[in-house]
Structure 1
Amino acid sequence: MAAKGKIQRARWCEARLAPLVLLSGPEDLLADRARQLLREAVRQQANRQQQEVEFSDLDAREYASGTLLSVASPSLFAQPRFIWVDHLEQMNDAFLSDALDYVAQADPDVTVVLRHRKGVRGKKLLTAVRDVPAALEVECAELKRDDDKQTFVREELQLAGRRIDPDAARALVDAFSADTTELAAACRQLVADVSENITRADIDRYFGGRVETTGFAIADAALAGQTAKALVLVRHAGQQGMNAVPIVAAIATKVRLMAAVCEVHASPQQLASKVGGAPWQVRRAQQDAARWNPIELGRAVRAVADTDAQIKGQAVDGGYALERLVRRLATRRIGS
Structure 2
Amino acid sequence: MRPFTYTGAKSTEEALRAANSDSHYLGGGTNLIDLMKEDVERPGQLIEVASLDYKRITPNEDGGLKLGAMLSNSDTANHPDIRTRYPLLSMAMLSAATAQIRNMATNGGNLLQRTRCPYFYETSMPCNKREPGTGCGALHGMNATHAIFGWSEDCVAVHPSDMCVALAAIGATVEVQQPDGSSRMIEFTDFHRLPGDHPEKDTNLMPGELITAIHLSKPVFSDHYYYLKIRERASYAFALVSVAAGLNIKGGVIAEAGLAMGGVAHKPWKLFEAEKFLSGKKPNQANFETAAELAIKDAKPLEDNKYKVEMGKKAIVRALSQAYERKA
Does TM-score exceed 0.5, indicating one fold?
A: no
Taking structure 2 as the reference length, the TM-score comes to: 0.26
Structure with bigger helix share is 1
Asked which structure has the greater CA Rg, the reply is 1
Higher strand share: 2
- What's the TM-score once normalised by structure 1's chain length? 0.25
